[in-house]
Structure 1
Amino acid sequence: MFRITKEFHFSASHQLCRLPDSHPCARLHGHNYIVVVELAAPGLDAHGFVRDYHDLGALKAYIDSRFDHRHLNDVLGSDMVTAERLAQHFYDWCRARLPETTAVRVSETPKTWAEYRP
């Protein structure tokens, strides 16, 4: 199996409204997010690719226009926008357009990652 990944960055705010008021994530706060999409295929196309990295430009445009410098609770219409839910959201978006998508990872901090891989 061949695998490729590509990394994307955006900054945004969110609030985990169902947490107790004493929890720091219950307050409005922001992160510099990193999104890594993984694509895989058992073979390569005629150009020697799993998928041309250029084809992932649509994901960059989507992230830049809908997520960068936005309040994620408003973007996703949820009071609990977690890294796990973002990973699943980006996976679903990618899989609908890029069938080779196998996983998406989202980081909120340099030491934390959430992954969605069905």
Structure 2
Amino acid sequence: MYTIAKRFAFSASHVIGGLPAEHPCSRLHGHNYEVEIVLQSAELDPVGFVRDYRELSELKALIDNTLDHRHLNEVLGHDRTTSEVIAKWIYDWCCERWPEVAAVRISETPKTWAEYRP
């Protein structure tokens, strides 16, 4: 199995609903997120790629135009804006374009990440 990955970054704010008032994530806050998309294939295309990295510029455009410097509650339309939910949202968008997508990982900090993988 061949595996490739590419990282992207964005900054955004959010509030996570359903938490106790004293929980810091129940208040408006933001992160400098990092997104990693992982693609896998048992076979390479005729050029020798799993997927040409340049094709992933569509994901960069989505991130830049839809997520970067936005309030994620408004983008997603609800208050379940955890990294886990964001990873699945991005994964679903990517799968419509690239069948090789194996996982999407989201980091809020250098020490934490959440991943969606079917």
| TM-score range relative to shorter protein | over 0.9
| CA-CA distance at 1:43 after TM superposition | 1.1
Deviations 1:62-81 (A, max 9, x none): 00000000000000001120
Q: Deviations over 1:40-86 (max 9, x none)?
A: 00011111100000000000000000000000000000112000000
Distance 1:49 1:73 in 2: 36
Deviation at 1:17, TM superposition (A): 2.0
Aligned-partner SS, 1:21 = coil
Q: 3-state SS of the aligned residue for 1:97?
A: coil
Give 2:65's aligned amino acid. S
- Sequence identity percentage: 61
Partner of 1:93: 93
**Residues 1-118 of structure 1: pairs in structure 2 closer than 5 A:** 1-118=1-118
SS in 2 for 1:32: strand
> Any gaps of 5 or more consecutive residues in structure 1?
none
In the aligned structure 2, how far is the partner of 1:46 from the partner of 1:16?
45
Question: Which runs of at least 4 in structure 1 moved beyond 3 Å after TM superposition?
Answer: none
Q: Which amino acid aligns with 1:10?
A: F
